[in-house]
Structure 1
Amino acid sequence: MSIFDHVSLRTTRLEETQRFYEAALAPLGIDTKFYVERAEGGVAGFGRHGVDLFIGAVRGPEPTPVHMAFCAGNREEVDAFHAAALAAGGMDNGAPGVRPKYHEAYYAAFVIDPSGNNVEAVFQGPA
């Protein structure tokens, strides 16, 4: 069980960021669960079953970037995440591969999203 109930990101470029996450997270079985327009801007919710990730619009400077790691079901999902994220406009921040500095079965890929966040997909199981 995850230690988080949900994560919320804020961005000044909601439309672009929402499209990025729709494409990048699809290979992990994560999709858009809702979108609502509010006085302060729109909010999109993503998840596999419920809503685990919220992305909301803000006015003003872009918020400080964060690092998020999404669980993948296998190494192929990590590879597909990386390819989809790059095709959706993400910037490569680490191609799919084993990261032995963490442990010998840590297989991950990293991409910077349109808002500057470091987004990771990771599988921590046998090859």
Structure 2
Amino acid sequence: MSIFDHVSLKTTRLEETQGFYEAALAALGINKRFYVEREEGGVAGFGRERVELFIGGVQGPEPTPVHVAFRAKNREEVEEFHAAALTAGGTDNGAPGIRPKYHENYYAAFVIDPAGNNVEAVFQGPA
């Protein structure tokens, strides 16, 4: 179980960023569960069984980028996430593979989303 109830990312490029997450997270079984328009900008909610990620639009300069990692069920999901994220407009920040500096079974891929965030999919079990 996650230690977080939810995470909220903000962007001035909501439409593009929302589309990126819709495509990239589908590979991990995470889907857009809602979208609402608000005065300050729209908000999209993503999750598997419940909403755990919010992508919200903001006015002004692009917020400071963050790093967020999504748990994959296996190495294949990590690879599917990476491919889908690149197709959806992400920039490669680390192809799927073992990251031995973390531990021997840390299999991850990294992509920069349209808002500049470092997005990771990771599977930490044996192959």
TM more than 0.5: yes
**Distance in 1, Cα, partners of 2:41 & 2:82:** 29
Question: Percent identity of the aligned residues?
Answer: 83
The equivalent residue for 1:68 is 68
TM-score normalised by L of structure 1: 1.00
The equivalent residue for 1:102 is 102
The equivalent residue for 1:24 is 24
- The ranges of structure 1 where at least 4 consecutive aligned residues each deviate by more than 6 angstroms after the TM superposition are none
**Distance in 1, Cα, partners of 2:125 & 2:19:** 29
| One-letter amino acid matched to 2:57 | A
**Distance in 2, Cα, partners of 1:77 & 1:23:** 13
The CA RMSD measured in Å over matched residues stands at 0.3
The C-alpha deviation readout for 1:81-110, integer Å capped at 9, x for no partner, is: 000000000000000000000000000000
Q: How many residues align?
A: 127
Where in structure 2 are the equivalents of 1:31-70 lying within 5 Å? Answer: 31-70=31-70
TM-score normalised by L of structure 2: 1.00
